[in-house]
Amino acid sequence: MKLFGLLVVFCCLMGTVKAQSQHPALPTLGKNDTIKTYVTLLDNEMVPWIVVPEVVIRAARIFKTEADRRAFNLLRYNVVKVIPYAHEAGDIYRKLQRDLAMTGDKDKQKQLISDCNDKIKALFKKDIENLTISQGDILIKLVNRETDITTYNLVKDLKGWGTAMIYQSIARIVGHNLKETYDRDEQHDIEAILQEAGYDSYRN
């Protein structure tokens, strides 16, 4: 009888161990365990999902000469200076496109375009006049990166073909080209600076 009882107990213990191996027990919660999270069953254990911020690893830039270093630092300064203007211009232009798509009224559309032109003029009037030639050239590129259209076409949409031609002629005198586009491969230094600054556009 005692032998039979021992066998029963042994079988019960084995069944419990087997059940535990098939269905792992929930972790014991402490008084501070109040954060809910998803878990994954891994090797018979429940492992919580932990989301960590993205880590971007970039190679250290090595300059051949001190002149190269100074040139790159100047480029970084100029890019960072004009980023806000390109971004703001992109926001204004995208809003215009959405507003135009919401109405078929020609008079309303003309008013929307006029309002957009006034906003961009107010944004750029004071500071843009003080930009250097290099900064202006970078701004033209970044406007294209931000809006996917050239500065020339942006002016044409807002002010008309004739005004765009006049602006292009003036720009060419000082060495600019409003029809210039942005190529990420060709402008790899500018692109690296933008990525390092944590800046991106709606085109991505």
Task: Summarize pLDDT for 21-55 with one digit per residue, the tens.
Answer: 455 556 666 666 666 778 888 888 888 887 777 77
Q: What is the pTM of this model?
A: 0.65
Determine the angle formed by the axes of helices 133-147 and 151-159, rounding to 10 degrees: 80
Which contiguous run of DSSP H or E holds residue 39? strand 39-42
Identify whether 201 is part of a domain. Answer: no
Domain count, the chain: 1
Structural domain containing residue 126: 83-196
Identify whether 49 is part of a domain. Answer: no
3-state secondary structure of 178: coil
Identify whether 17 is part of a domain. Answer: no
When pLDDT is averaged across residues 140-144 and rounded to a whole number, the result is: 90
